[in-house]
Structure 1
Amino acid sequence: MTEILIVGAGPVGLTMAAELARYGVAVRLIDRSPHATETSKALVVWSRTLELMDRMGCTQAFLDAGLRAPGASIRSGGQVLGAPRFADIASAYNFALMIPQRDTERLLAAHLRSFGVAVERQVELIGFTEAADGIAARLRHVDGREEIVRTPWLIGCDGAHSAVRHGLGLAFEGSAQGDDWLLADVRLDGAGTPPPDEIATYLHRDGPFVIFPIPGRRARVVATVGRTDAMHERPDPTLDDVQALVDRRAGGGFRVSDPVWLTHFRINERKVAEYRRGRVFLAGDAAHIHSPAGGQGMNTGMQDAVNLAWKLAMVVRGEAGAPLLDSYSPERSAVGDLVLRNAGRLTDMATLSNPAAQAARNLALRFLLGLHAVRDRMATTMSEIEIAYAGSPLSRGPEAGERWDPHADAGPPPGSGPAPRFVLYAADMTRGAALAARFPTLLEPDPRRPPDGRFLVIVRPDGYVGLSAARWDEAERYLQALAPKPG
């Protein structure tokens, strides 16, 4: 009963499995689908996720495969209302990396295989029961064979229809947004085509029309197309339908061709109240789904995985006490609430139907997006670099919970080694080394000098400030609370 069972091999499950395997924790990753995602689906990897990939050791493969979008535009009636740029995002990755989900999964699966772990496909979780010391999970294989697996921890990364969430009986509270949306993965040609590395949003009285660049001079087109009642299913769109939307909402001037994916979807905004129950965890779409506005969904899910993986690894390896795991749900649930709220606001703004409200919105956007500070705030929010854990049980002292600047010093990123460790930054290096020697399972052995003159900082393995203090006894108490208990 040594392998942790992860259900769902999308980007979130692959990230979870790869991080645990990197830390030397045995994992088993199953998925009921016979093959990986074959469509573009989630398209953007944002700055904070790329920074976390530095710890994972797979950033370069994504940079090589993706397209760097330096900015976005918001247009209406043939005019540009504003053009947020990403260059001022306070990260080495000051751009939106456009990469289809099929490639994200391919690259993460390759990264996972480098640790000797492969996805087991056509294996489905059909039930589980929990005991004090673990989980008994019932699996069904494609040939009908059933298997009972004993696992110490079960992690549901199995999407919006999560079997793990259903097995826990957790409510997935929220609602469906009323509009149907068209999605088309096509090629664009013509003089009126927006720049091939720009996310272009057209606000029209009939509804928004958005173009996302895809590597290979392709594009994702998304637009509202009205409402249908639950009794009538809208047929898949045609290329002519997409061209009609281009001509009406984007002013024409370019043609669509070579479709590889044409579909409709409806936005759901739902979330569980808790991401953990006992020995079972939820991450990604199994825990939260929301509007694709801002491209936050996959990034939020992958960051769920990074957050949980180092904590679970430290507990499984006996390097931290089990209460460390209590921080996962409050930290990531608060982030889920924030992303849900921000994405919902963007969608509501874009889909205003009242002409007077639309005119007021456009006027306000023209003014606000003319302000450098507003453009910066929009870019920073989308990049997710300001996500923080101020209210976490792991955060102590001023600035605790904030992202530690990954380029603040010359050392390797916290958490990039073969074992998850907190990093101590201390003005007194001798005393810092002595503290690290007293907590060898929690701290890296070599303290670092604070780059900004602070007295004492402890940075978590995922690159967030855990403790910011002016006294050594505060650090001692902080680490003592995290340490594994004897016996």
Structure 2
Amino acid sequence: MANILVVGAGPVGLTLAAELARYGIGVRLIDRSPRATETSKALVVWSRTLELMDRMGCTGGFLEAGLRAHGASIRSGGAVLGRPRFDDVASAYNFALMIPQRETERLLAVHLRCFGAEVERQVELVGAFEAADGVEARLRHADGREETVRTPWLIGCDGAHSTVRHGLGFAFSGSTQGDDWLLADVRLEGAGAPAPDEIATYLHRDGPFVVFPIPGGRARVVATRGRTDPARPDPTLADVQAMIDRWAGGTFRAADPVWLTNFRINERKVAEYRRGRIFLAGDAAHIHSPAGGQGMNTGMQDAINLAWKLAMVTRREAADALLDSYSPERTAVGDLVLRNAGRLTDMATLAHPAAQAARNLALRFLLGLHAVRDRMATTMSEIEIAYRDSPLSRGPGSGDRWDPRHDAGPPAGSGRAPRFVLYAADAVRGSALAVRFPALLEPEARTPPDDRPLVIVRPDGYVGLSAARWDDAEGYLEALAAHPV
């Protein structure tokens, strides 16, 4: 069986390759860059991603390397408008894990090596076309040598300027915001600096100024610099301090910068994440405002969603139609994240003084309500992402996240092929059904944690089927089976 080819070794490609390798699928991960990311880039891993990492088997290293942010603050003119907290998020990971992308990539690369796979660097995809039973891809190595490979599936995890997406001719629809933004990784000193476990947003008449904590006593500062100017130089430490003085009251100082740059916000997305045997994931499929810190998490969850489906189809344990669910499921999530991030950015960058005053008044009132603070924290944590309209979802509550506290023993697919898990009030009939569908179901039925008589949970921890009749469960599994029973 030929290896699946994954293009792009950022967090998304590393996640996908590691999951495929964990499931025993041959994978080849290439990247044209000579080295991994060396800057902090994406900073936060949210609750739902950490839960899914539990299934991957790599959460521990991230928890050791990261910093736990337990809340956020929203301020204006020296006043605190509200302090959402993550403590009540219904997850074992009720915090935002702050960790630089270079560390995320390093840890995922270590995890990938546990399965005998490595990143092939300075290898570039220069062309690909689909044949009847696979994809023929042309690769170029650092010495100029070209190689033609045949792969059953090609996945583009190669970022906003994706070669795979360009090759497919997919429209990357959206827009570029008209402002320049500043990014600075610095140390913040002084009594007025935000708490080291808090994401602090300062709303100012000239735009937002946001401080994200980073492990090692550093912080990420992000702020608007005004309308885009192609001649604008990279920011200096003095520019950062001037913003602190003007927008945050000057009660702390910036020092020891390690990264100072300008950037612009793009909001773009493809309409579909798949064409035949070629898939897109992560920034190759969707890019959006960094507001809320959802981008990397969304991409990693793309990869986790796709990996188990590719594994089951590649192993001929599920019908090819299983892969048809990837694009509608993740497209809907991409649309949601794009919409939410855009709204946050629009709210933070209101320009008219009257609109700013009304926004601040509304925020002060709404963030005074416990329910609103909880809703904001839950949305950011991503634990309520669901697939209710998926072709794989049937019955009440289907498509919802399965509470990880209900899992018993090792996660489905740990160290072996991915499997659905059957929860059945009638354990005898449940075990008999597992015998009928050994390629799809874990061998032992489990006791439901609530009054639902029959629940089938997907390998990625979402409810596939919730039903009362055994005929429904049998029909659901027969539709998934590679060879109907």
TM-score scaled by length of structure 1 = 0.99
Q: Distance in 2 between matches of 1:136 and 1:272?
A: 23
Q: Does 1:186 align with 2:189?
A: no
Q: Distance in 2 between matches of 1:346 and 1:413?
A: 35
Residue among 258, 263, 266 paired with 2:256: 258
Given that 2:318 and 2:480 are in contact with CA atoms closer than 8 Å, whether structure 1 keeps it comes out as yes
Q: Tell me what 1:207 maps to.
A: 207
Q: Tell me what 2:173 maps to.
A: 173
Q: Tell me what 1:461 maps to.
A: 459
Residues 68-91 of structure 1: CA distance to partner in whole angstroms, max 9, x if unpaired?
Answer: 000000000101000000000000
Structure 1 residues 331 and 146, CA, compared in 2 at 3 Å: closer, same or farther? same
Q: Does 1:358 align with 2:318?
A: no
| Cα shift at 1:416 | 3.2
Q: Tell me what 2:298 maps to.
A: 300
- Name stretches of at least 5 consecutive residues in structure 1 with no aligned partner: none
Q: Tell me what 1:275 maps to.
A: 273
Given that 2:23 and 2:418 are in contact with CA atoms closer than 8 Å, whether structure 1 keeps it comes out as yes
Look up the equivalent residue of 1:92 and give its one-letter code. A
Q: Which residues of 2 match residues 406-485 of structure 1 at below 5 A?
A: 406-485=404-483
Q: Distance in 1 between matches of 2:44 and 2:303?
A: 17
TM-score scaled by length of structure 2 = 0.99
Given that 1:415 and 1:462 are in contact with CA atoms closer than 8 Å, whether structure 2 keeps it comes out as no
Q: Which residues of 2 match residues 28-427 of structure 1 at below 5 A?
A: 28-229=28-229, 232-427=230-425
Look up the equivalent residue of 2:174 and give its one-letter code. G
| Cα shift at 1:417 | 4.5
SS in 2 for 1:91: coil
Given that 2:85 and 2:373 are in contact with CA atoms closer than 8 Å, whether structure 1 keeps it comes out as yes
Residues 168-209 of structure 1: CA distance to partner in whole angstroms, max 9, x if unpaired?
Answer: 000000000111100000011001101011000000001100
Q: Distance in 1 between matches of 2:186 and 2:39?
A: 12
SS in 1 for 2:405: coil
Look up the equivalent residue of 1:313 and give its one-letter code. A
SS in 1 for 2:473: helix
Given that 1:409 and 1:451 are in contact with CA atoms closer than 8 Å, whether structure 2 keeps it comes out as no
Given that 2:201 and 2:208 are in contact with CA atoms closer than 8 Å, whether structure 1 keeps it comes out as yes
Q: Distance in 2 between matches of 1:298 and 1:65?
A: 17
| Cα shift at 1:382 | 0.4
| Cα shift at 1:409 | 4.5
Number of residue pairs matched by the alignment: 485
Identity of aligned residues (%): 83
Q: Distance in 2 between matches of 1:429 and 1:137?
A: 48
Q: Distance in 2 between matches of 1:233 and 1:25?
A: 49
Look up the equivalent residue of 1:28 and give its one-letter code. R
| Higher deviation after alignment, 428-437 or 404-413 | 404-413
| Cα shift at 1:234 | 1.8
Look up the equivalent residue of 1:331 and give its one-letter code. E
| Cα shift at 1:107 | 0.1
- Name stretches of at least 5 consecutive residues in structure 2 with no aligned partner: none
Given that 1:165 and 1:286 are in contact with CA atoms closer than 8 Å, whether structure 2 keeps it comes out as yes
Q: Distance in 1 between matches of 2:257 and 2:150?
A: 45
Given that 1:415 and 1:463 are in contact with CA atoms closer than 8 Å, whether structure 2 keeps it comes out as no
Given that 2:22 and 2:414 are in contact with CA atoms closer than 8 Å, whether structure 1 keeps it comes out as no
Q: Distance in 1 between matches of 2:367 and 2:12?
A: 34
Q: Distance in 1 between matches of 2:49 and 2:407?
A: 20
